[in-house]
Every structure is written in C-alpha cells, then in structure tokens.
A and B are shown apart, each in its own frame.
Chain A
Amino acid sequence: MTKNVTNFLSPEERRERRMILLLLAPALAVVGLLLIGPLIWMGWQSFQGPDGFTLDHYARFLSDTVYLSSFVQTFRIAFVVTIAALLLGYPIAYVAAKSQGIWPPIILGMVLLPFWTSVLVRAYAWLILLQRRGLVNTMLIETGVIDKPLILVNNEFGTVMATLHILLPFMVLPLYATMKKIPAELEMAGASLGGGGWLVFRSVFLPLSLPGVIAGSVLVFVLTLGFYITPELLGGGRTFLVSMLVSRNIELYNEWGAASSISMVLLLLVFLIFRLASMLIPFERIMGTR
C-alpha cells in the first residue's frame, strides 16, 4: 500500500518526506542505539551458554516449575490489578466526563497526583500505611473493627494495592478520553425514545465506552506485567514476579543468558497481548493518540 502511494508523490512531497526523515533522525538514532540495539543483544544473549549457542535457557521454562509459577502469579496479579483498576476507574472517568466547569480538571488532577511522587516513595508510603502496626491496622483496632492486625503487606494484597494506586491513571485517562467523545445527544435520544437511565447506560453509553475499557485494560495489564520495585518492596518475598525472576538470575547467579530468555518471553507475550487487543480496537487508540 505504502509503495503504491510513494509512486504518486510529487517532487515537493518527496522533499517534504526527506525533511521529515531528517528531523526524525536524532530520535531514531537514540531509539536504535539505546532500545533496538540492547534488545538485539539481549535476544542474542538468550541463546548463549558457556559453550556457545544453546537452547538451555528456553528449555528451563519447561523444566523449572519456579518459572511457570512466577509467570502464573504475574499474570494473575496483572489480571486482578486490571479488574480492580477498571472497577475503580470507570466511575471516576464517568463522573469526570459528565461533570462541568472546573470539575473535570480537578478530578483528573487528583487521579494524576500519584505521578508527581516517585514510585519508590509511594511504595514505602503504602508500606507505612499497611504494615502490621501501620496506620490502617491501628485505626481498625482502635475503632474496634478488628482484634488483631490484618496482614496487609508482604503478600499479594499489598502488591495489588500499591500497583493499582500507581497504574490507576493509565485506566482513567483512556476511559475519560473515550467517554468525552460520546455525544450527549445519544443519551438524550435514548431517553426521548423511552429508555430509562439504566437501559440507556447499558445499551448506549457502556458499549460506546468499550474502546476506552480495552485501551485502559491493556495498558494497566501490560504495565503490571513488568512491575518491579512495588512487588519487590510490598510482596515480602511471597510474590515472585517475572521481573524479580530476571533480577535474581543476574544478582544471585550472574546468569545473563537466563535473564535474557525470560525477558524475551515476557516481551513476546506483551506483543501478543497488544496484537490481540489491536484486533478489537486500533493500536493508536490504545496509546491514546486518536
């Protein structure tokens, strides 16, 4: 398709294309040098053993149960975080999209607030809130809701909680953008035709907001798959995610080949998820450029 189009380009358009390419060159060089290069190197590493080429690193996916359980746990947490982000984010986006005047920026600002502090600080903040003698437990005990502290961190719950907090904006923003584009007349039309609030929401608004749901879900899911600091700090060793599997292989065993192979598999799975999602909605919409 592109080839055919190029044939019809006038000299001016060709010059414009060359100009655009020239302007893009620095960015392309950076991406090539710092992203594509290391990726190729990583791919090459994943096939390297002490005696040259090997498939051993990939074979371990079948033999080592730690690998499998780590992937399963990572996907389970990503799934839980995505669902929770959707349940929390949809009403927030809905209210922001439906409110008037100064309210949308205020609501979205509050959603974006976590972006202004470092992930590390937020992880420690959650640790302080959720630990055994933390704010939440102390409050619950003193108000008599519970007798002994709940275990809120150093497990999957703590990991999910903090990850959710950090990734919620990635759910809310695509949802908000999609909802904003749903014309208000559609709901007015639904009402004028006899549809009550719930029917109009269920049969008109909700289906039209689905692209936002998919976009937000894919973003949150994929980002959770690669999360490292938060599960490391709040998982307390009980959550052993893929990212930690990679880091252990390097830190403890100096196994760059194994670490590379795990990264490659995770990368491949992420590509697969994007591919599946883009069959439902265009890729540009997931990334929020359209």
Chain B
Amino acid sequence: MNSPLHPQKVGVSIRNAVKRYGTFKALDDVSLDVAPGEFLSVLGPSGSGKTTLLGLLGGFVQPTSGSIHLGATDITYTPPHLRGIGIVFQNYALFPHMTVGENITFPLRARRLPKAEWPAKLQAALEMVELSGYADRAISALSGGQRQRVALARAMIFEPRLILMDEPLSALDKQLRENMQLELKQLHAKLGATIIYVTHDQREALTMSDRIAVMKSGGLVQVDTPKQLHDRPKDSFVASFIGEAMLLPVQRLDAGNLTLAGQTLRSAHPLPSSDDLFLTVHSEKLAFAGPQTAPESNLLPGTVNSCLYQGESVRIFVTLSGGEQVSLRLPSNHSGWQMMPEAGQPVTLALHPEDTIVVPRAA
C-alpha cells in the first residue's frame, strides 16, 4: 500500500433490517453482507428504500427492528458522529463558508487531532483527489467535479472504516460523470476501503461495482456481480432495470424449450418452472443471421421498423413476426453501414441459446 491514507478494511452486515414509517415499510427485512474492501452498489428506482438503507448505515435513521454491524461491532444505535463512516452526500454537502482545506480537515478538528499533523494529512488527501494547491480556495470557486473531489477527500481523510456514497455523480454532466466513475474505481483500488455506493443509474453500477444489490419497494431483489445481474437476472424487474432489455412474454414447453408467439426457441439455461415467463432480449445479444451465425442459434424472422442514428451506433427497431418489438445495434463504422438494412426490409435475427434468458414475472 503506497497510499499515505490507510482506511482499515472492515465488512458490513445488515441483519433483518426493517424500517416502518407508520404503516409504510421503507425497508422490509433487508439482510446484506458486504465483504471488507468490497465495492457494493445499491441500485433501485426512487422510492425503493436506497436512501433509508443509507440513512440506517450513516446513523440518521433508526431501524424499527434488525441490526447493523461494522466488523464485529454492533452499531445499530451508535450516533452518527461516533460511527467513523465517511459519507459523500448527493449534493456534496460541503460547508459553503469554509475553504477547501477547512472542509477537508473538519474531521481532524472533530477528532481533536493535534494541529501539527493536519498539513501532511491534508496534503495527502488533496493529492489523492488531484487537487493539490486548492486548499485555500473557496467552495463557490470550484466546479462541480472539483466539489465532488473535495467531498471525497473530506470523507477519506479520517481513514474511515466504510465509505458511503449517495448518488455522488448525479449532479455532474455525462462526460464528467464517466471520468469520475473511472477515477472512483481507481481510487477504490488504491485505497482498498469498503464502499457502499447508492445509485439509480444501472450503467454506473455495472461499471463500478464488485457486486450490485438491486432494491425494489424496500426489499432486496438480487445481490450479484454485474455480469451475473446483467446476464442472469432473477426476475422481470431486474431484467427490465438492467441494460437495454426488452421483455417478451413466452410459454414454457419443457426444461430447455419455450415458444415465442408460436415459434419454438431453445435456451441453454434451465427454465424457471412458472407459467408467467418473459424472454429477456438485450440488444447486444441479437445479431442479423448470416454465414457466421452459430447453427444452434434461435432464428427470429421480422421486419425492420426504423433505424435510429445515435452517433457511435445505429439502433435498429425490428418487429418480429408475432408483432413483438425488439431492437439491436450496428456500429456506425464501414462494415456496420454495409450491413445496414432499410425500413420495411424483412430480416432474420439470431439469438444464441446461451443468450436466451428467460425470467419469471416479478412478484
């Protein structure tokens, strides 16, 4: 570890957490274990309980029942200022009347660390977020991305056991957000701290996380690696929330075969035993059938509906013979344009059995 800041790695364990507001259950029996050093994203639409979960970890919300453990310590009823958890708030929550340096050293001041030790730590924290020389700047003089970094430095300078981030990039524009995603990931690798990252942006979660916890109406739906979540969603909710997926109703024939609008398809994965099934079609799993198409692929005839130019790629909407709408992409390069169909043109799409993902309807 060549970093001057060494957060202690520690795991987090949420056990059967319930939070009721009157009759409304904001959290419904949530149990989640986060490994030391893990980058875990909590993903869900607004109102799914993400913020309540974060409040619970930060100590701003008391659970109705259940407990929270940081390493071996039960912190369920520990007040926020004694938890030692670094939090990066959605709007950064920087103190507007303090300079960058005063903001970042606030945790040292709160801990009554001797002032002689401040400059070295401040310097290290500023270097970490590439803001050396900014210590005396006013917060109002910073750009959104710089504020974001100050918030990060402030949450890390006291070497917290756990860092919580509440949609920290949502206020930034797309370009900056993607840069910061990479930087955060690198920072995580460098620090090795345990990070719980709340977001409603599935792409952000897929890019950054070791694991993703998908939430829906106060409960956890699926906790998995980004790849598992994307390729093997547990139900129609996860499938529709992750990636550019279209859900087509299908009927189960047997453990490996299904029918889509009368046409029989094969799946390499055992089908769930339910009557209410959906085929999850991601646009990147579809291709135009051609000489390279694997012989075992499912073939779906259809008609091109429209082509939508999106810069790096062209999204092609196809109406299948049964009337279902799907889409796929061609890169907007030379070979892509060579293959580009026209609206109204009949086409055949190929879907490999490995990519034929069938999910049950979400409860």
Give A residues with C-beta under 8 Å from B: 183, 185-186, 188-196, 199-200, 203-204, 207-208
Contact = CB atoms under 8 A, between A and B. Distances in A.
Contacts of B87: 188-189, 192-193
17 contacts: A183-B91, A185-B89, A185-B93, A186-B93, A186-B95, A188-B80, A188-B87, A190-B81, A191-B59, A191-B79, A191-B80, A191-B81, A192-B80, A192-B81, A193-B86, A193-B107, A194-B158
A199 B110 contact: yes
A208 B158 contact: no
Contact of B81 (A183, A194, A203): A194
Interface residues of B, number: 28
A207 B107 contact: no
A81 to B, nearest CB: 28
Interface in B74-109: 79-87, 89-91, 93-97, 106-107, 109
Contacts of B109: 195, 199, 203
Interface in B37-89: 58-60, 79-87, 89
A193 B156 CA distance: 9
A195 B97 contact: no
Considering residues B60, B85, B90, which has the most beta carbons from chain A within 10 angstroms of its beta carbon?
Answer: B60
Contacts of A189: 87, 89, 93-95
Given A192-B87, A195-B106, 10 more contacts: A183-B93, A186-B93, A189-B89, A191-B79, A192-B81, A193-B154, A194-B82, A194-B158, A200-B81, A203-B95
A193 B79 CA distance: 12
B83 A193 contact: no
B111 interface: yes
A207 B91 CA distance: 20
Contacts of B111: 194
Given A188-B58, A189-B89, A191-B80, A196 B110 contact: yes
A264 to B, nearest CB: 39
B148 to A, nearest CB: 14
Contacts of A192: 58-59, 80-81, 83, 85-87, 155
A200 to B, nearest CB: 8
B88 to A, nearest CB: 9
Interface of B: 58-60, 79-87, 89-91, 93-97, 106-107, 109-111, 154-155, 158
A199 B155 CA distance: 17
A189 B84 CA distance: 12
Contacts of A199: 109-110
Contacts of B95: 186, 189-190, 203-204
B110 A193 contact: yes
A260 to B, nearest CB: 44
B110 A207 contact: no
A183 B155 CA distance: 18
A207 B84 CA distance: 25
Nearest to B91: A185
A188 B89 contact: yes
A208 B81 CA distance: 20
Contacts of B107: 193-194
A194 B105 CA distance: 11
A244 to B, nearest CB: 42
Nearest to A196: B81
A193 B89 contact: no
A194 B80 CA distance: 7
Given A186-B95, A188-B93, A193 B58 contact: no
Contacts of A195: 81, 106, 109-110
Contacts of A185: 89-91, 93
Contacts of B59: 191-192
Nearest to A204: B95
A183 B97 CA distance: 13
Contacts of A183: 91, 93
A94 to B, nearest CB: 18
Contacts of A200: 81
Contacts of B155: 192-193
A282 to B, nearest CB: 15
B272 to A, nearest CB: 42
B106 A190 contact: yes
A248 B58 CA distance: 65
A71 to B, nearest CB: 36
Contacts of A190: 81, 95, 106, 110
A11 to B, nearest CB: 36
B58 to A, nearest CB: 6
A188 to B, nearest CB: 6
Contacts of A207: 97
A196 B83 CA distance: 11
Smallest CB-CB A-B distances: 6 pairs: A194-B110, A189-B93, A191-B80, A185-B93, A192-B87, A195-B110
A224 B94 CA distance: 38
B156 to A, nearest CB: 11
Contacts of B81: 190-196, 200
Given A192-B58, A192-B83, A193-B155, A208 B110 contact: no
